A and B are shown apart, each in its own frame.
Chain A
Amino acid sequence: MKAVTRPALTVSDIRKSFGPIEVLKGVSFAAAPGEVISIIGASGSGKSTLLRCLNFLENPTSGKVALGDEVFEATEFASTGRRSRARLMGLRRRMGMVFQSFNLWPHRSALENVMEGPIHVLGRSKAEAESKALELLARVGLSHRAHAYPTELSGGQQQRVAIARMLATDPEVLLFDEPTSALDPELVGEVLAVMKSLAQEGRTMLVVTHEIAFARDVADKVIFMNQGQIEQIGHPDEVLTGEARSDSLRSFLARFERDEIRA
């Protein structure tokens, strides 16, 4: 008898409106533990908003997010009560996020950026946090830059520090919001390599990206978003090259193929 694994993350009917404009029109999907899902789509299709709704940086208008068995309703965070604040912090602790613009704190060194979570979220001692942070910086290949400030690092290095900072609070699900879009082309590879190694060690990851190659080679599943909805979801081969692709997906992918030919 095969045990049914419960999803690490279940997203149910997430809707989000900014004023009269509905950006997300009911999005549902689930990610199994260790699954890597790439989310692609044109700008304005709602993919970044979707990611930001999952850790409630953006409060969804309605819908549910479940981490394992724990369910978080969009409506419960509309108020700012103490109990819901505590639950929200717990949810965010369990979900890591990497941003397009890195968002490292400029007044703290790489090491201090990574130590912040263990000390001030997990309540670890300074010594414990430091050894963990050094370990994580080694993991992303930046031991030698531990004491550098963000402005002294290249974009690729900053993003790798940001990945270490995210891992420092032991999140169960990793969210990547266009992690390589702000990088010079020659720096993209080093960040993707770290992400690939995280995928290989069995992390559950949601990656909003324009890197079709990453979606094709690393992801277990690809979601194509169009106008606030999931238009296609499935195995990368099926979504990226299969016969059942919709017209908007074809024209979206065609732009990348043209780019690849030109490159």
Chain B
Amino acid sequence: MLATLPFLGYIVEGLMVTVGATLVGFAGALLIGATLSTLIVGSNTLPRYVASGYVTVFRALPELLFVFIVYYGLDIAMRALAARIGIAPLEISPFAAVTIALAMQFAAYCAEIFRDARTAIPGGLIEAGEAIGLSGTKVRTRIVLPLMFINATPALGNIFLVILKVSALASVIGLEEVTRRAKVVAGTTKEPFGAFAVAGICFLIVTALATALQHYIERRTTFGRSVA
């Protein structure tokens, strides 16, 4: 265990990458997910089918597989493009690849969450807005969206934690995040338990902070309901 101590800082530094990839991936997933859910409940047939197809495909693909597809796929595409226009190919960073993969994949789950959160809004609340003469846009921004986000908060909190943990998959394409660094340290010190324990504690701390934040948001949005 003692041999791991000098590398403590090195492993914990990897947390920056882990949290960074999670935050960017989560933000992307929210954005794409909200867009998808709007299309799915929308009245245009083609976008509706495309969005539903997207959700079906990405809920089915294993995360690891999709990380590979994005990383190597982007690399191949970049080379082909570079060759065509005659410039040196840009290197695809593992960070970019993993955040794109996480955002695209978890957008499918977010779309489902937003759709359920939207459906859970009683129709009467929307009619009440229409009845006083609010415009369609105001009904959406003042009533539908706020209530949708309030309804979605618990489920989105879970998605955030899942993304945090799945981001460890990025180690397979060489992203220097917590688990990757722990593995490197384990190889050097021959103390795998120590190194992975440190990595585990890192995840625990981030999860605890995220959960505290989620509970804070939920408490702020009870609006007089008693919370069990």
Bound complex: CA A107 to CA B145 (Å) = 11
Q: Are A116 and B132 in contact (CB under 8 A)?
A: yes
Contact B135 A107 (CB under 8 A): no
The answer to whether B224 touches A166, judged by C-beta atoms less than 8 angstroms apart, is: no
Q: Which residue of B lies closest to A118 (CB)?
A: B132
Q: Taking the complex as formed, is A228 at the interface, i.e. its CB lies under 8 A from any CB of chain B?
A: no
Tell me, rounded to whole Å, the shortest Cβ–Cβ distance linking A200 to chain B: 24
* A92 x B132 contact (CB < 8 A): yes
Counting contact residues on chain A (CB < 8 A from B), the size range is 20 to 34
Q: A106-160: which residues lie under 8 A (CB-CB) from chain B?
A: 106-108, 116-117, 120-121, 148-152
A101 contact from B124, B136, B138, B143, Cβ within 8 A: B124
Determine whether A207 belongs to the interface, using a CB cutoff of 8 Å to chain B. Answer: no
Q: Which residue of A104, A107, A120, A166 contacts B138 across the interface (Cβ within 8 Å)?
A: A120
B81 at the A/B interface (Cβ < 8 Å)?
Answer: no
A interface residues, Cβ below 8 angstroms from B: 55, 57, 85, 89-90, 92-97, 99, 101, 103-108, 116-117, 120-121, 148-152, 162, 165-166, 168-169
Assess A117 versus B147: contact at CB under 8 Å? Given A107-B223, A149-B223: no
Task: Give CA–CA (A215, B221) in the complex, Å.
Answer: 41
What is the bound-complex CA distance between A152 and B150, given in angstroms? 18
B128, A107: Cβ atoms under 8 Å?
A: no
What mask results when residues 213 to 226 of chain B are scored 1 for a CB within 8 Å of chain A, else 0? 00000000101110
Q: Is there an interface contact between B147 and A57, defined as CB atoms closer than 8 Å?
A: no
Decide: A99 near B124, CB < 8 A? Known: A150-B224, A151-B224: yes
B131 touches A92 (CB 8 A): yes
In contact, B225 and A89 (Cβ under 8 angstroms): no
A24 CB to closest chain B CB, in angstroms? 18
Interface centre among B128, B131, B133 (most CB of A within 10 A): B131
Total A-B Cβ pairs within 8 A: 80
A92 near B133 with CB under 8 A, answer: yes
Say yes or no: is B116 at the interface (Cβ < 8 Å to chain A): no
Known: A120-B138, A149-B223. A103 touches B132 (CB 8 A): no
By the criterion CB–CB under 8 Å, are B225 and A151 in contact? Answer: yes
A108 and B131 alpha carbons, distance in the complex (Å): 17
A143 to B10, CA, bound (A): 60
Decide if B131 touches A151 in the complex (CB within 8 Å): no
Chain A residue with the shortest CB-CB distance to B146:
A107
CB distance from A167 to the nearest CB of B (A): 10
Residue of B with least CB distance to A168: B132
Return chain B residues, CB-CB under 8 Å to A168.
132
Structural contact, B147 and A89, CB atoms closer than 8 A: no
Given A103-B125, A105-B143, are A55 and B131 also a contact pair (CB < 8 Å)? yes
Interface presence of B83 (CB below 8 A): no
Inter-chain contacts of A116 with B (CB < 8 A): 129, 132, 134, 142
Which chain A residue lies CB-closest to B136? A85
Among B130, B132, B136, B224, find the residue whose CB has the most chain A CB atoms closer than 10 A. Answer: B132
CA distance A162 to B125 in the complex (A): 11
A99–B221 Cα distance when bound, in Å, is: 25
Tell me if B122 counts as interface (CB < 8 A to partner A).
Answer: yes
Contact A121 B134, beta carbon cutoff 8 Å: yes
CA distance A99 to B150 in the complex (A): 24
A148 and B132 CA atoms in complex are apart in Å by: 21
For B146, the chain A residues whose CB sits under 8 A away are 107
- Chain B residues closer than 8 Å to A166, beta-carbon distance: 131-132
Residue-wise, chain B 116-158 has the 8 Å CB interface mask toward A (1 for contact) of 0000001011011111111110100011001100100000000
